[in-house]
Structure 1
Amino acid sequence: MSGSPLPSSSSTAAQALLRALFETTVDAVSAERCLPPAIPRETTSGRTLIIAIGKAAAAMASVAASQINGPLSGLVITRHGHSGPPHSLPANFEIIEAGHPVPDTESLAAARHALELVGGLGAQDRLLALVSGGGSALFALPVPGVSLGDKQVVTRALLRSGATIAEINSVRKHLSLVKGGRLAVAAAPAQVTTLIISDVPGDDPSFVASGPTVADHTSLGMAREILARNGIDVPASVIAALRNPENETPPPDSPGLAGSEVRIVARAADALAAARRLAEEQGYAVTDLGDRLEAEAKQLGADHAALALRLSADGQPRVILSGGETIVRVTNPHGRGGRNLEYLLGLAIALDGAPRIHAIACDTDGIDGTEDNAGAIVTPSTLSRARALGLDARRMLCSNLAYDFFDALGDLVITGPTRTNVNDLRAILIAPEGMPDLT
């Protein structure tokens, strides 16, 4: 390790480092930092069409457009409220803001318009697809026989079931006319290049935004099995669609997919590496649990609390890092709070006010679940302050009310859209002996 622990004369030191760790990870995986080296430099004899899809779409399109020569046009498809400043786009670029995490009518309009644009490309042209997390909902066009309402029902059921993102997107691909490589097939005979900011554990490019320009390796049968295994009740139209062989995703040797270039330009491992560097610079030993954690959020929080308690025994300053996308089983339809808040509340309950241990968990896109926060912070005083307000932590966790819990304490982390997305950063800070607890 280099450096020395941050000054601990006040309780702000631990909180300041936690926030700095999150800010550092977001910066490390921003489009401005990770995209320029991957932009195609060779010129084409035709034109370049940029289609940017996902929560990072505006930033990715802005960076790419500033570095490409020749005739250029573009379509940015992003979440409502995620396309504005500080990113600027060429005057001929179109922007469609759509629904997330459940598709809406703008999601359909975006998909239809994208198909129209790529259908006009020729053999001398290039489609540059800039893909990031969130695109599955933002970019949706159901197969024949399935309505938008049907897709919304299936999406909500999948999100509440506790299914992994890979499972959810496997189903989505087989109910879509644009996912699972279909956008690339529609762009043939143009050259297709896909640059991805990955938000999925394992970084399989075919699962990021359900892979609109990437060959799929799942099947209709797998999609049906996922619904059955998770006990998900869906409309009859969806069952029929998943039994229709015409809705199988295109094979990898299809025009538009064969010979296409796919590259991941940023991933959760990059974010964790940046956090590790900062923590070590400040004199903290780092335990990196990896970027692929997908357990149930509140249980993972309890497990990490046990680990933190063991590691705190020697009194040394430490940081425990992890990434990935945990799952939440929603039992209260009126509950509020995403996976990071459920993780943190499970952690706080298991820590039970243990001294010196603080934590942050945030989604790098700035939105944890469906609320306005990126995540929250836990301190040794979290439970005592909650009790003073009459809050029952265990009851609120069981009722999916983690947002209300941390909101009442004033411990939410609110950043607004970050215009990137490599999923979650979780950091548990074990302060050195003598550092005061947060109040």
Structure 2
Amino acid sequence: MNKVFLLSLYEEAVRVSKPKHCLPQYFNAFSKNDRVCVLGVGKAAADMAVEAHNYFGSNAYGLVVTRYGYENTESTGNIEVRLAAHPVPDENSVTGANALLAAASSVEPSESVIFLISGGGSSLACAPPSTVSLEQKLSLHKFLLRSGASIEEMNTVRKHVSVIKGGRLAAASKGQNTSLVISDVVGDDPAFIASGLTVQDTTTPQDAIAILDKYGFDNASPLRGYLANAPLLPKVKGDYKLVANAQSAIDAAVEMAKASGFSTRVISYTEKGEAQEVAKRHAQIALECKQQGKPILLFSGGELTVTLGDSKGEGGPNQEYLLALTKYLDGEPGICALAADTDGVDGSKDVAGGFIDESTLRNAKRKKIDVNAMLAEHNSFGFFESLESHIKVGPTRTNVNDFRVIYVS
């Protein structure tokens, strides 16, 4: 088993999660002759807009906001594509969010509105309340990213310090709303995908305060004062369709592996928790399979976390997972693994993830790289950069969480 085959499984998971593959069938519920307002946000937004234009032609108008570097490669017609920053918002995130709200509020009641939502929307559409500055919102984003909070916890806080999240974008529309969503959230709860821009939400400002308390957010921050008196989230109406998620991606890779004659097992579609701890458990499963003489491919999805604390290390959950897996497999012959984010970016660097095999630990020792020290510093990027073992695919223009596969020969 080699890197090329495991990479092909990852590429299949990504392929079926791209808008070109997963989205067109959902437009069949609409007449091509109807005027449709298309509004979208997320890493897949531009390519989703391409598919909307391919179906509706000039009858589709509106705008979407996506990440820098994730621009569409085909025409979106009358659907404008704007760019903003991720994972930390910038001024374009604010202007994009305000443009989306303005467009939604101008829709006629007789018109259909199609919201194209994908992961990354929490940063790409950022509209803080008038009494909260962008700088304050940015400090909150940076704190949450380093805190070890789950995506659900981060988005709970974000939506209560916003005038667009938590269903507010859909609430601005008087039209007939439909949300078509590519999920990057474990469990696919629509209220947490892109901070629930277009769906009903039941969380409260008090929930957000409790999360900030849990992770030790600054007690003197003015954001606490805002949250103490923040309004409740609005009532929202509309249809909702999930068009792709981690399970559909992993299932496609599993079918490809089976077609090639391999035995497979899905450990979990919805893994959560600290990357190092999950890696320890997965290593135990792999070693048990090896001891039993079971050649097998072990798949898992979900989204792991890395609690950085005061560490200055760089990397991402998939790289940290593989670094810890290297430690716990301890050079066991016949086991290799790949872990990568399906959006093509793991953490703060433009790498998707990495690859390890029985030679990884040996090569690290030869280069005098201390695996335990790298784990303590959360410097997984430096580890894989030194060994030239990164997976680099560029922007995939979709996102359905992490993809991990371990091969036991």
TM-score range, shorter chain: over 0.9
From 316, 328, 332, give the equivalent of 2:294: 316
AA partner of residue 34 (structure 1): C
Q: Distance in 2 between matches of 1:423 and 1:213?
A: 20
Q: How does 1:355-370 map to 2 (within 5 A)?
A: 355-370=333-348
Deviation at 1:244, TM superposition (A): 1.1
The question of whether the paired residues in 2 share the 8 Å contact of 1:332 and 1:400 is answered with no
Name the counterpart of 2:46: 58
Secondary structure of 1:295's counterpart equals coil
What per-residue deviation string (whole Å, max 9, x for no partner) do you get for residues 197-235 of structure 1? Answer: 001011011110001111112111111111111222266
The question of whether the paired residues in 2 share the 8 Å contact of 1:14 and 1:429 is answered with no
Where does structure 1 differ by over 4 angstroms across 4 or more consecutive aligned residues?
none
Q: How does 1:190-269 map to 2 (within 5 A)?
A: 190-233=175-218, 236-246=221-231, 248-251=232-235, 257-258=236-237, 260-269=238-247
Q: Distance in 2 between matches of 1:70 and 1:354?
A: 58
What per-residue deviation string (whole Å, max 9, x for no partner) do you get for residues 10-36 of structure 1? Answer: xxx421221111011001111111101
The question of whether the paired residues in 1 share the 8 Å contact of 2:53 and 2:79 is answered with no
Secondary structure of 1:292's counterpart equals strand
- TM normalised by structure 2 equals 0.97
Q: Distance in 2 between matches of 1:110 and 1:234?
A: 31
AA partner of residue 288 (structure 1): V
Closer, same or farther: CA 283–316 of 1 in aligned 2, 3 Å: farther
- TM normalised by structure 1 equals 0.90
What per-residue deviation string (whole Å, max 9, x for no partner) do you get for residues 93-115 of structure 1? Answer: 32211111111111001011111
Secondary structure of 2:9's counterpart equals helix
The question of whether the paired residues in 1 share the 8 Å contact of 2:46 and 2:64 is answered with yes
The question of whether the paired residues in 2 share the 8 Å contact of 1:154 and 1:234 is answered with no
The question of whether the paired residues in 1 share the 8 Å contact of 2:19 and 2:44 is answered with yes
Alignment partner of 1:402 is 2:389 = no
Deviation at 1:333, TM superposition (A): 5.0
Deviation at 1:119, TM superposition (A): 1.7
Name the counterpart of 1:89: 76
Q: Distance in 1 between matches of 2:310 and 2:8?
A: 34
Secondary structure of 1:371's counterpart equals coil
Name the counterpart of 1:24: 12
AA partner of residue 347 (structure 1): L
The question of whether the paired residues in 1 share the 8 Å contact of 2:113 and 2:177 is answered with yes
Name the counterpart of 1:155: 141
Alignment partner of 1:183 is 2:169 = yes
AA partner of residue 136 (structure 1): S
AA partner of residue 89 (structure 1): T
AA partner of residue 61 (structure 2): S
The question of whether the paired residues in 2 share the 8 Å contact of 1:283 and 1:317 is answered with no
Deviation at 1:428, TM superposition (A): 0.4
Alignment partner of 1:137 is 2:104 = no
The question of whether the paired residues in 1 share the 8 Å contact of 2:49 and 2:79 is answered with no
Q: Distance in 2 between matches of 1:180 and 1:429?
A: 41
The question of whether the paired residues in 1 share the 8 Å contact of 2:18 and 2:397 is answered with yes
The question of whether the paired residues in 2 share the 8 Å contact of 1:180 and 1:213 is answered with yes
The question of whether the paired residues in 2 share the 8 Å contact of 1:48 and 1:70 is answered with no
Secondary structure of 1:101's counterpart equals coil
The question of whether the paired residues in 1 share the 8 Å contact of 2:153 and 2:211 is answered with yes
Q: Distance in 2 between matches of 1:363 and 1:37?
A: 25
The question of whether the paired residues in 2 share the 8 Å contact of 1:293 and 1:325 is answered with yes
Deviation at 1:76, TM superposition (A): 2.0
5+ residue gaps in structure 2? Answer: none
Secondary structure of 2:55's counterpart equals coil
Q: Distance in 2 between matches of 1:69 and 1:383?
A: 54
Number of aligned pairs? 409
Alignment partner of 1:424 is 2:409 = no
What per-residue deviation string (whole Å, max 9, x for no partner) do you get for residues 398-420 of structure 1? Answer: 11210010011111000000011
Secondary structure of 1:323's counterpart equals strand
Deviation at 1:69, TM superposition (A): 5.4
What per-residue deviation string (whole Å, max 9, x for no partner) do you get for residues 223-269 of structure 1? Answer: 111111122226622101211142x2113xxxxx22x1111000100
Deviation at 1:40, TM superposition (A): 4.9
Name the counterpart of 1:98: 84
Name the counterpart of 1:67: 55
From 61, 68, 85, give the equivalent of 1:80: 68
Q: Distance in 1 between matches of 2:201 and 2:58?
A: 32
Alignment partner of 1:389 is 2:376 = no
Indicate the percent of aligned positions where both proteins have the same amino acid: 39
Secondary structure of 1:290's counterpart equals strand
The question of whether the paired residues in 2 share the 8 Å contact of 1:200 and 1:324 is answered with yes
Deviation at 1:289, TM superposition (A): 1.4
Q: Distance in 1 between matches of 2:304 and 2:276?
A: 9
Closer, same or farther: CA 193–98 of 1 in aligned 2, 3 Å: same
The question of whether the paired residues in 1 share the 8 Å contact of 2:33 and 2:59 is answered with no
- The 10-residue stretch of structure 1 (357-366 or 37-46) with the greater mean CA deviation from structure 2: 37-46
Name the counterpart of 1:283: 261
5+ residue gaps in structure 1? Answer: 1-12, 252-256, 432-439
AA partner of residue 37 (structure 1): Q
